[in-house]
Amino acid sequence: MTSSGSPSTAEQWQVYSARYSADFLRVADADRLDELGDERLASGWLGCAGAGPDALAAVEERLGMTLPPGYSAFLQAVACRSVTAVSNRGGEDELTWLPSPSTYTALLEII
């Protein structure tokens, strides 16, 4: 973990995401649980499979840059937009530049 307590490796993201999934399932209301589907509820995991080295290399090639290490680690662990997503939307194949440089800069500050 980083000094701020944030995950910084794929393994740490996996642990964090598993805990988050368990917490989310514990407190989610019935409507949110219904939207998740039986398979996700049974697995107790809200994420999706991590991206492999080839997928990450393809993203970096398409964007023309190297991904920040923390974000790359996140994608290696959970290659979807959000662990709280009620559907498996997005992934490394949908990564693209944000509409304005200021938005991207703000995102990098979060990562």
pLDDT tens-digit readout, 7-64: 889 999 989 888 988 998 999 888 888 888 888 888 888 877 788 888 888 888 888 8
DSSP label at residue 53: H
5 in a domain, yes or no? no
Which band of pLDDT confidence, cut at 50, 70 and 90, is reported for residue 93?
A: low
4 in a domain, yes or no? no
Domain assignment of residue 83, given as a range: 10-110
Cβ 78 vs Cβ 13: under 8 Å: yes
2 in a domain, yes or no? no
27 in a domain, yes or no? yes
57 in a domain, yes or no? yes
What is the Cα–Cα distance from 46 to 48, expressed in whole angstroms? 7
What is the domain count for the chain? 1
pTM of the model: 0.65
